[in-house]
Structure 1
Amino acid sequence: MSERQLHFNVLVMDAGYHESAWRVVPEPPDSVLHLEHYLEVARVAERGLLDSLFFADVPGIAEFRVEHMPQPHFDPIDLLSAVAARTERIGLIATGSTTFGAPWDLARRFATLDFLSDGRAGWNVVTTALPVAARNFGLERLPDPSERYARAQEFVEVVQRVWDGWEDGAFVGSREQGVWADRGRLHAPRFRGERFEVAGILPFPRSPQGHPLLAQAGASAGGIALAGRYAEVVFAAKPTLEEGAAYRAELRAAAAAAGRDPDHLHVLPGVAFVLGSTEAEARERRAALESIVSSEFRWRNLLNMSGFDPDLLDPDEPLPDELLASRPPTSVAARVFEQARARRVPFRELAESFAVLPGQLEFTGTPEQLAETIARWFEAGAADGFTLLPTTLPHQLGEFADHVVPLLQARGIYRREYEGRTLRDHYGLPRPANANVAPVGVGDA
């Protein structure tokens, strides 16, 4: 078996990653409103020995979306807490916003999930680039990206200090002495920074992983800096092996510059896939999804994901020159601008070429072909694994678990069993030392 092993995270989006998924799967349209749907996805993921499930958070939606597809963006931490009780090994990563959250509250919620899951929690750190979200939290507009990332840096620092408020040995539990915990081994953060002031400890000991795993997905300069400093898993949108290799090298360099071990940062590009037993069957499945796509939804959704109000632009005209000359508000917008400059066509027509999130790797073919693609990226140093974007759930995820995983195992680049119980174990990451406790041997002279 290869010393370096693949890692897989799966993005759980309703009935699947494709906008038409809910119209082709056999389950009823309201199945995504029930816990059993998510439990079945989790069971399939555990069958495939995947590292983690990932639930995004959308703290506000554009109303046009509800007409075209399900939008049950449940609170991801609450949902994963329910999933934790019915699963054993799969990691549970939820998104939490540093723009609209409060550090102490978020630290408590993720530490709680870590306890409830016996050490399987992860936090996907996001700054949230949805304009509609700002208005749900009392803001007229989003803070600019530089401010959002500056806030994120301080936010994560505060959260980690809160997580380190209890030394690992602070819990005593002595009935004889009448001591539940050693107060002398508590370290209140007493943090006062430019944006946050946080005083007290959490009301329970340090969680099983010490710190829940940290994930991140930003591709901007601010996002790369944040990932280099903190992230242990990075979700990426890179459509070519060459771009993937360059991005991974950039992130590893950023981690090294921050004084971290680059091997403790795993880059997992997204791959949206349709699998079939033959290429023809896979193409038929893809065609079935595409044949019922709403062109109205597609152009509106692409603008929405790019950070723009769809009602302010004419889809039957190319994107305005003055807009293309401005700074793209998101990494998605940067990809869209690039295509819009190259193809001066009505935006409605341009949007038809984006079947998945701009920049994602899109695959249609057989399990053998997908296994070959994954192995090629992995062995070329373009990825440490992938974030799976199954076009239908749980069906295409089941195809991956049952037919792609055995091929990767045969190559010796993927586990045949879980070797540990925590999410950090799955990703081969150490349990963080408590910043308030000197390492053994330091200061003993």
Structure 2
Amino acid sequence: MMHLAAFFFTPGSHSAGWRHPDAIPECDMDFAQYVRIAQAAERGKMDTIFFQDTVALNGSAALDGVSPFRPTQGRQAYLEPTTLLAALAVVTQRIGLIATATTTYNEPYNIARRFASIDHISGGRAGWNLVTSQVEDEAGNFGADHHMKHAERYERAEEFYDVVASLWDSFSEGALIRDKATGNFIDPDKIHFQNHRGKHFSVRGPLNMGRCPQGRPIVTQAGSSGPGMALAARTADLVFTAQSDLAEAQGFYRDLKSQAAGFGRNPAHIKIMPGLMTIIGRTEAEAQAKYRTLQGLMSDENAMRLLARLCGDLDIHAFPRDAPLPPLPLSNAAQARQRHLVEKAARENLSIIEVARYLGTSLGHHLLVGTPASIADTMQQWVEQGACDGFTLLSPHYPVPLEDFVALVVPELQARGLFRHDYTGRTLRDHLGLPVPANRYET
């Protein structure tokens, strides 16, 4: 069975989608709209919803006048996602709840406690999207002048994950006795201290929380650089990646599954779900008309601003926009996304502005414009030909495109026997077909 996640990037993953007549741009701050789109995803029997996060106002240097390129479009305000997940847990019943939290600007104990709490509140539906941060603006909010270097961010993330995972195992099953007759509240032999001393963290433990309903929350990873893939292969249950070419996706799939096996893991226990944006019409002509409308709302200036962030120290604005994409110095932001853009530009002979508009359309993810049947055809091909285990669905704006996918594409996938008609389990691990992990202190 195909796996599906609804990626929430309000007010839309298309850089100008919020301007569409059907868009509700206030969904970035309106909890009622989050409820609407979360319940739509659950109505479509999707495995999970998935929230991106950045702990800064993206492009804030430009906003305060440091740069002449002042952003007027895009994503500037949105709710903190773990708080949002806790609220959405009580207005949904079965769908998984994943939120992003950075290892660069957090501490392990807080993250372990936060996601364990969401898992308890939701009855076992929580997931943590482990990221190392890519937006330079974040550093200034946490006492730093510059973003930590890529390699150091991943070194910190490796240790961060190990501490969090051990904290989630602090309580064995049955540790909370709560025996009124004897007065014994806990079994001290089933409480485990971490006493971690590492390069980046010193954490005594234990976590002050009973074992999670699904053992531990799901861990997802979005990095596709060398260090990102290694971290995902060792730690992730679900991987959100960016590929727009079948052969490229097949190579990534084989490589990551092989690396997971090299860490002693069952490759089937790591689900690879690349991003996919769909623009759906009941006819091909209707789909193409929707696409043209969206593209007509995007300004070249804002598309170039998105591209500039991934160009390292190179001033991409100094080059003619119709020129080929020049060689880019290695970015300290999203290195895998930069590589994806460079390879796509070379493969398809794209100009600078064409690359920028591609990025502005779908954040660099695969884009399908067509009917429910044609979109299902490609999705089926990718899963059956070993390119992925499912998809993370991006919406150009909210809520209509996601509701259209649920109403039009999900029934097509169900009719082909590719997707569930109903949930068969209660937890996110159940939906993904993943076992409950053993407590490390009991093995």
SS in 2 for 1:352: helix
- Distance apart, 1:352 and its partner CA: 3.1
Alignment pair present for 1:298 and 2:303: yes
Instruction: Indicate conservation of the 8 Å contact 1:131/1:307, yes or no.
Output: no
Picking from 352, 361, 366, the partner of 1:361 is 366
The residue correspondences of 1:218-297 to structure 2 (distance < 5 A) are 218-297=223-302
Report what 2:53 is aligned to: 57
User: Aligned partners of 2:92, 2:162: CA distance in 1, in Å?
Assistant: 31
User: Deviation of residue 16 (structure 1)?
Assistant: 2.4
Distance in 2, matches of 1:136 and 1:420, equals: 41
Deviation (angstroms), 1:319:
11
CA-to-aligned-CA distance 1:103-125 (integer Å, 9 cap, x gap): 01110011111111111100011
Secondary structure, aligned partner of 2:442 = coil
- Give the drift of 1:320: 11
Amino acid at match of 1:331: A
Tell me the CA shift for residue 405 of structure 1. 1.2
Farther off after superposition, 142-151 or 426-435: 142-151
Show the counterpart of 1:42: 38
Matched, 1:20 2:25: no
- The one of 173, 187, 201 aligned to 1:182: 187
Residues 1:156 and 2:161 are matched in the alignment: yes
SS in 2 for 1:135: helix
- The alpha-carbon distance between structure 1 residues 357 and 315, as it changes in their structure 2 partners (threshold 3 A), is farther
- The total of aligned residue pairs comes to 432
- 132 and 174 in structure 1: CA distance in 2 versus 1, 3 angstrom threshold: same
CA distance in 2, matches of 1:159, 1:319: 47
Residue equivalent to 2:142: 137
Q: 2:107 aligns with which of 80, 102, 107?
A: 102
* Among 4, 9, 14, the residue aligned to 1:8: 4
Deviation (angstroms), 1:236: 1.1
How far residue 157 of structure 1 moved from its aligned partner, in angstroms, is: 0.3
State percent identity of aligned pairs. 38
Q: Who is 1:324 aligned against?
A: 327
Q: Secondary structure at the match of 1:273?
A: strand
1:372 corresponds, among 371, 377, 380, to 377
Rounded Cα–Cα distance in structure 2 between residues aligned with 1:342 and 1:384 = 25
Question: Residues 395-442 of structure 1: CA distance to partner in whole angstroms, max 9, x if unpaired?
Answer: 11111111211121122221111011111111011111100013xxxx
CA distance in 2, matches of 1:322, 1:295: 15
Contact 2:151 2:227 in 1 (8 A): yes
CA distance in 1, matches of 2:233, 2:348: 35
Change (3 A) 1:269 1:136: same
Structure 1 length as normaliser, TM-score?
0.91
Distance 1:318 1:341, change over 3 A: farther
Q: Structure 1 residues 127 and 153, CA, compared in 2 at 3 Å: closer, same or farther? A: same
CA–CA distance in 1 between the matches of 2:427 and 2:249?
28
- The answer to whether the 8 A contact 1:22-1:70 is kept is no
Amino acid at match of 2:434: L
Question: 1:347: Cα distance to partner?
Answer: 4.1
CA 1:282 to 1:208, structure 2 compared with 1: closer, same or farther past 3 Å? same
SS in 2 for 1:252: helix
Please show how residues 61-140 of structure 1 align to structure 2 within 5 Å. 61-63=58-60, 67-140=72-145
Task: Tell me the residue number matched to 1:431.
Answer: 436
Q: Structure 1 residue 335: deviation in Å?
A: 3.2
User: Does the 8 Å CA contact 1:20/1:292 hold for their aligned counterparts?
Assistant: yes
- For 1:187 and 1:326, the matched residues in 2 are separated by 46
Query: Corresponding residue for 1:213?
Result: 218
2:207 aligned to 185, 202, 207, which one? Answer: 202
Check conservation: 2:275, 2:392, Cα contact below 8 A.
Answer: yes
- Which residue of structure 2 lines up, in the alignment, with residue 443 of structure 1? none
Give the structure 1 partner of residue 317 of structure 2. 314
The two structures, once aligned, show a CA RMSD in angstroms of 2.4
Q: 1:411 to 1:28 in 2, by over 3 A?
A: closer
* SS of residue in 2 equivalent to 1:210: coil
Bigger shift: residues 67-76 or 213-222: 67-76
> What SS is found at the alignment partner of 2:421?
coil
2:440 is paired with a residue of what secondary structure? coil
Secondary structure, aligned partner of 2:274: strand
Tell me the distance in 1 between the aligned counterparts of 2:73 and 2:301.
Answer: 9
1:167 matched residue in structure 2: 172
Q: Hey, what's the Cα distance between the residues in 2 that align with 1:410 and 1:347?
A: 41
- C-alpha distance in 2, partners of 1:134/1:86? 35
**Any idea what SS the aligned residue of 1:324 has?**
coil
Aligned AA (2:329): S
User: TM-score, with normalisation over the residues of structure 2?
Assistant: 0.92
Matched to 2:19, the amino acid is: R
